[in-house]
Structure 1
Amino acid sequence: MSAAKRVKMSGPVIGTHSGHFHADEALAVYLLRLLPEYSNSTLVRTRDPEKLAPCHTVVDVGGVYDDAAKRYDHHQREFTTTFPDHSTKLSSAGLVYMHYGKDIICTCTGLTKDSADAELLYQKLYDDFVEAFDANDNGVSAYDPNALRKAGIEKKFSDRGFSIASVVNRLNYSHPSPDPSAAQAEEDERFLKASQFCGDQFISEVMDKFHSWLPARAVVKQAFGDRFKYDDKGRIMVVPHRPEGCPWADHLYALEKETSTEGSVLYVLFAENGEADSKWRIRSVSRESGSFENRKDMPDAWKGVRDEELSKVSGVPGGVFVHASGFIGGNKTFEGVLEMAKKSADA
Structure 2
Amino acid sequence: MAENAAKRLKTADGGAGAVAIGTHNGHFHADEALAVYMLRQHIPIYSGAKLVRTRDPALLETCHTVVDVGGVYDATHNRYDHHQRTFATTFPGRATKLSSAGLVYLHFGREIVARRLASPQESEQVGLIWRKVYESFIEALDAHDNGISIYEPAGIAAAGLEKKFSDGGFTLGAMVGRLNPNWNDPVPEDPALAQAAEDERFVTASQRIGEEFDRDLDYYTKAWLPAREVAAGAFAARQEYDPEGRIMVLKGQSAPWKDHLYTLEEESQEVGKVLYVLYTEKPGPDAKWRIQCVPVTKDSFQSRKPLPEVWRGFRDEELDKISSIDGCVFVHAAGFIGGNKTFDGALAMAKKALEI
TM-score, structure 2 length as denominator? 0.88
Query: Which of 136, 139, 143 is the matching residue for 1:135?
Result: 143
* 1:48 Cα offset (Å): 2.3
Query: Which of 261, 281, 292 is the matching residue for 2:290?
Result: 281
Question: What is the rounded CA distance, in whole Å, between the counterparts of 2:25 and 2:301 in structure 1?
Answer: 40
Q: Counterpart in 1 of 2:75?
A: 67
| Alignment map for 1:205-284 (pairs within 5 Å) | 205-242=216-253, 246-261=255-270, 264-284=273-293
* 1:215 Cα offset (Å): 2.4
Answering whether residue 188 of structure 2 is matched by residue 178 of structure 1, we say yes
Answering whether residue 113 of structure 2 is matched by residue 112 of structure 1, we say no
Paired residue type of 2:27: H
Unaligned runs of 5+ in 1: 1-5
| Contact 2:244–2:272, Cα closer than 8 Å, also in 1 | no
Paired residue type of 1:212: A
| Contact 1:161–1:167, Cα closer than 8 Å, also in 2 | no
**163-172 or 91-100, larger mean C-alpha shift:** 163-172
Query: Which of 315, 327, 339 is the matching residue for 2:336?
Result: 327
| Contact 2:133–2:216, Cα closer than 8 Å, also in 1 | yes
Question: What is the rounded CA distance, in whole Å, between the counterparts of 1:293 and 1:155 in structure 2?
Answer: 21
For 2:66, what is the secondary structure of its paired residue?
Answer: strand
Question: What is the rounded CA distance, in whole Å, between the counterparts of 1:210 and 1:224 in structure 2?
Answer: 21
| Alignment map for 1:1-347 (pairs within 5 Å) | 7-10=11-14, 11-33=18-40, 34-174=42-182, 175-179=185-189, 180-242=191-253, 246-261=255-270, 264-347=273-356
| Contact 1:111–1:118, Cα closer than 8 Å, also in 2 | yes
* 1:89 Cα offset (Å): 0.7
* 1:248 Cα offset (Å): 1.4
Question: What is the rounded CA distance, in whole Å, between the counterparts of 1:173 and 1:290 in structure 2?
Answer: 36
Paired residue type of 1:66: D
For 2:290, what is the secondary structure of its paired residue?
Answer: strand
* 1:291 Cα offset (Å): 2.7
> Relative to 1, partners in 2 of residues 1:292 and 1:164: Cα closer, same or farther, differing over 3 Å?
farther
Unaligned runs of 5+ in 2: 1-9
> Relative to 1, partners in 2 of residues 1:281 and 1:51: Cα closer, same or farther, differing over 3 Å?
same
Question: What is the rounded CA distance, in whole Å, between the counterparts of 2:179 and 2:332 in structure 1?
Answer: 38
* 1:160 Cα offset (Å): 4.5
For 1:316, what is the secondary structure of its paired residue?
Answer: coil
| Contact 1:318–1:336, Cα closer than 8 Å, also in 2 | yes
Question: What is the rounded CA distance, in whole Å, between the counterparts of 2:193 and 2:132 in structure 1?
Answer: 41
For 2:213, what is the secondary structure of its paired residue?
Answer: helix
Identity %: 54
Q: Counterpart in 2 of 1:3?
A: none
Question: What is the rounded CA distance, in whole Å, between the counterparts of 1:59 and 1:47 in structure 2?
Answer: 11
Paired residue type of 2:223: S
| Contact 2:245–2:272, Cα closer than 8 Å, also in 1 | no
For 1:256, what is the secondary structure of its paired residue?
Answer: helix
> Relative to 1, partners in 2 of residues 1:266 and 1:173: Cα closer, same or farther, differing over 3 Å?
farther
Paired residue type of 1:194: A
